[in-house]
Amino acid sequence: MAGGAIQQVTSKTEGYTVRNVLFKIPLVIGDSGTVEVITTLRPNEVNDLMNSEWFTFSIASYSSNDWTENCSGHIRAGADDQGNHVQVERYARRVSSEKWYSALFDRGLSYGTQFCGLHNISADPLGGSASASVNRVEQHESPYLIHPTMIDQCLQLISVAGAAGISRRIIKNAIPASVERMSIRRGGDHMEAGVSAKQESGNYVTADATVVFDGKVVLSMKRGMLFSMDEQVKADSIPLLAQMQWRPAIDFQQPQSLLPQTEQSAAQVGALCITKKLAFLYILRTADTIKDMHPEATHLAKWKSWILAEGARILSDSQILGFDCEKWMGMSSAEKGAIVESLSSSLATEEGDGSIIAAVCMDQIYANCQGIMSNQVSPLELLMDDNLLGRYYAHGQKYANWDVFLTLLCHSKPTLRILEIGGGTGAATMAALPSLYPPASSRQPADVLVAMGFVGDIDQLGVEGSGTVRRVGRHVTDLVVGEQVLVLGPGIFDTRFIVDQQRCRKLDKGLSLEDAANMALVYMTAVYSLVYVGQIKKGQTVLIHSACGGFGMAAIQVCRLLGAEIFATVGNQTKKDHLIHEFDIPPDHIFDSRSASFLQSLMEATGGHWRLRLTLLPPSRSRAGYGATWDLKSVYLTLSSHALLEGWRNWL
């Protein structure tokens, strides 16, 4: 329709080009009856005195006593030059035309005789590409450069490319949503077409198409988008009942390979060496103290036996342990105590709080070993004091990477359920719990559009938030585990996610995760709009709509830094009071956004001198106050949630 319209208003007949075409609402025509349709062309203005070569077109239909815009876009006369001597590639998988149309019919796409023109269909077995012959079923004189049924066949071929020629993989209920650019020249009744398709995020498939006639490109489509009205489409929408996955058997792995040690600094290695010496000395001193005591419980007898055996091994196999312990053999308990005091003092100068905690724990056991042997003192109660045991466990977990062990363990028995004994003192359970805490994230109006399926991928909800660093890669230098950061990146709604360190910023002291979660995008948008686009200078005037929203309050603070005079609109008295008390904006600079009557007061307050009007609105928002300000002689910056979402995601 748009191609026929452009041929009527221009003298060029060799072709036309369309861009930014949106298919908004399907035009339904029953088997009987008529539908009134109007195609409108409007030239695009370059300025007040000159029109562009591009026209804006819209196609509207009349139904149920109302007009509906079904399609819109831009069109110009003349086709893009695509070159000559182009050949369409044939692929390895041959597809039966009859069977394919039958499969489409089973999925609710019933094509009439005139539309079933695809023949010699082939597809890439790896998916993503397909080719075929497109044909006019009834050949008679036509005013079209390329008959609409043949253009539709190119869209049909996208289903072949997306499914790799396998009918059970066809995306159900996929309808055209948009075309970024399409160029059309005069073709023939029999042409060759090639399509490359790609599964995008969410329910979208994008495709490029080329149609060749006599070696020349007569149709070229860039980024045509199809939208599936079914639930979220996945590339593996029909998975196998089972999948083979091979991993090393855990029973045959060396212990050191299952729990690899993390890299330690020289200071940490030094602290660990001192801690080992302390452990040996405390074992020897404890053995000297309890060797003649009678244990009052069975488990204490086992403990005494272990202490005495370890003490003997330390003195006999000192070289194997890495220390020369023979010199301790003839020392008195007091002399050994002096060495312990010296080593404990040196730990304070080393890097490693965990080693100090270990030394305190060992000292508590030694100091109370006689009470423990007589079963009058509980060692667990000793170590639970001041949470010594929990802190000791937490420190030890930093030096081991559990990923390999847990991965192989769960692979060997996928239904494995683990009960940790003594998990209340810290241990592995306590280490896992912080990973379950979700970070703080900002819910933007644009995320609502994603959740409703209009744009984007449901798996990428959230583009800003804050959280705590749980792990860092080997090349990360600016962040450490435990630091709280502000994060930019898709998928922030996830409990855990991996992000490049360049998209993280450390939080200032006193700034909570909740407050930081919704700061980044509103300030980035405000700075870009006011500084880079609006180029606001000191003393200029800015009108900020919805000034009590996150973007509005960010814009107020940016304007304050720039020295601009601020006027604002709000929706109720509570928001007006907030601007007065929190931002010290004069009452006569704040107006009701729900009424157009504020325009006269606004003009009187400013004397009609304006620089910028700043608005952030959802696409469907319409208020009298916003519309009234279009009459102001100023620069307008109206930012839609849809446009901001796409811009943010492209940047991210």
Q: What is the pLDDT of residues 471-480, one digit of tens each?
A: 888 888 888 8
Which comes out higher in pLDDT, residue 632 or 327? 327
Q: Is the pLDDT confidence value at 258 over 50?
A: yes
Q: How far apart are CA 626 and CA 641, in angstroms?
A: 16
State the pLDDT at residue 610.
58
The DSSP H or E segment spanning 550 is helix 550-562
pLDDT category of residue 38 using cuts at 50, 70 and 90:
very high
470: which DSSP letter? Answer: -
Residues 317-346: b if buried by 16+ CB within 10 A, e if exposed: ebeeeeeebeebeeeeeeebeebbeebbee
Please give the mean pLDDT across all residues of the chain. 81
Neighbours of 559 (CB within 10 A): 24
Instruction: Look up residue 236 and give its amino acid.
Output: D
Query: Is residue 36 packed enough to be buried (19+ CB in 10 Å), middle (13-18) or exposed (0-12)?
Result: exposed
Query: Is residue 109 packed enough to be buried (19+ CB in 10 Å), middle (13-18) or exposed (0-12)?
Result: middle
DSSP reduced 3-state for 109: coil
List helix spans (H) across 244-373: 255-258, 266-290, 298-316, 318-321, 333-347, 353-367, 369-373
Select from 402, 463, 464, 469 the least CA-distant residue to 429: 402
DSSP reduced 3-state for 444: coil
Q: How far apart are CA 215 and CA 465, in angstroms?
A: 53
> Which tokens is 57 given?
């077109």
Q: How far apart are CA 202 and CA 459, in angstroms?
A: 8
DSSP reduced 3-state for 5: helix
Under 8 Å between Cβ of 162 and 205: yes
Instruction: Look up residue 87 and give its amino acid.
Output: Q
Under 8 Å between Cβ of 86 and 187: no
446 HSE (CA, 13 A, CB side): 24
> Which tokens is 358 given?
């270990």
pLDDT category of residue 622 using cuts at 50, 70 and 90:
very low
pLDDT category of residue 623 using cuts at 50, 70 and 90:
very low
Under 8 Å between Cβ of 587 and 577: no
DSSP reduced 3-state for 1: coil
Q: Is the pLDDT confidence value at 625 over 50?
A: no
> Tell me: the pLDDT tens digits for 347-365?
765 555 677 888 889 999 9
State the pLDDT at residue 209.
92
CATH number belonging to the domain at 93-228, selected among 3.10.129.120, 3.90.420.10, 1.10.760.10, 2.30.42.10? 3.10.129.120
The DSSP H or E segment spanning 590 is strand 590-592
Q: How far apart are CA 493 and CA 448, in angstroms?
A: 13
Sign of the four-CA dihedral 534, 537, 538, 539: negative
Q: Is the pLDDT confidence value at 23 over 50?
A: yes
Q: Torsion angle of alpha carbons 158, 164, 165, 171, nearest 10°?
A: -60
Please give the angle made by the CA atoms of 366, 369 and 371, to the nearest 5 degrees: 140
State the pLDDT at residue 430.
65
* C-alpha distances in Å from residue 240, one per residue of 103, 230, 237, 244: 21, 21, 10, 10
Q: How far apart are CA 523 and CA 446, in angstroms?
A: 16
Q: Is the pLDDT confidence value at 579 over 90?
A: yes
Q: How far apart are CA 43 and CA 51, in angstroms?
A: 6
Query: Is residue 48 packed enough to be buried (19+ CB in 10 Å), middle (13-18) or exposed (0-12)?
Result: exposed
Instruction: State the residue for tokens 């009439």.
Output: 112
Please give the angle made by the CA atoms of 290, 291 and 295, to the nearest 5 degrees: 65
Q: Estimate the crossing angle of helix 298-316 against helix 266-290, to 10 degrees.
A: 120
Instruction: State the residue for tokens 């939080």.
Output: 507
306 HSE (CA, 13 A, CB side): 6
CATH class of the domain comprising 520-651: alpha beta
State the pLDDT at residue 300.
92
DSSP reduced 3-state for 228: strand
Average pLDDT over residues 463-484: 87
Q: How far apart are CA 319 and CA 325, in angstroms?
A: 8
Q: How far apart are CA 388 and CA 140, in angstroms?
A: 91
Q: Residues, the chain, total?
A: 652
Average pLDDT over residues 161-170: 86
State the pLDDT at residue 436.
57
* C-alpha distances in Å from residue 554, one per residue of 292, 547, 548: 75, 9, 9
Q: How far apart are CA 512 and CA 451, in angstroms?
A: 27
Hey, where are the domains in the chain? 2-77, 93-228, 263-398, 440-517, 520-651
Of 42-56, 341-355, 501-515, 584-598, the poorest mean pLDDT is in 341-355
**CA end-to-end distance (rounded Å), the chain:** 38
Select from 350, 356, 382 the least CA-distant residue to 369: 382
pLDDT category of residue 434 using cuts at 50, 70 and 90:
low
* C-alpha distances in Å from residue 446, one per residue of 263, 457, 463: 43, 12, 10
242 HSE (CA, 13 A, CB side): 3
Strands of 34-173 (E only): list them: 36-47, 50-63, 66-77, 93-95, 119-123, 129-135
| Chain-centroid distance, C-alpha 166 | 31
> Which tokens is 492 given?
């922030």
The CATH number assigned to the domain with range 440-517 reads 3.90.180.10
State the pLDDT at residue 123.
92
Which comes out higher in pLDDT, residue 570 or 426? 570
- pLDDT above 90 as % of the chain: 21
Pairing state between β 541-544 and 565-570: parallel
Pairing state between β 50-63 and 635-640: unpaired
> Which tokens is 451 given?
């959740």
Q: Is the pLDDT confidence value at 303 over 90?
A: yes
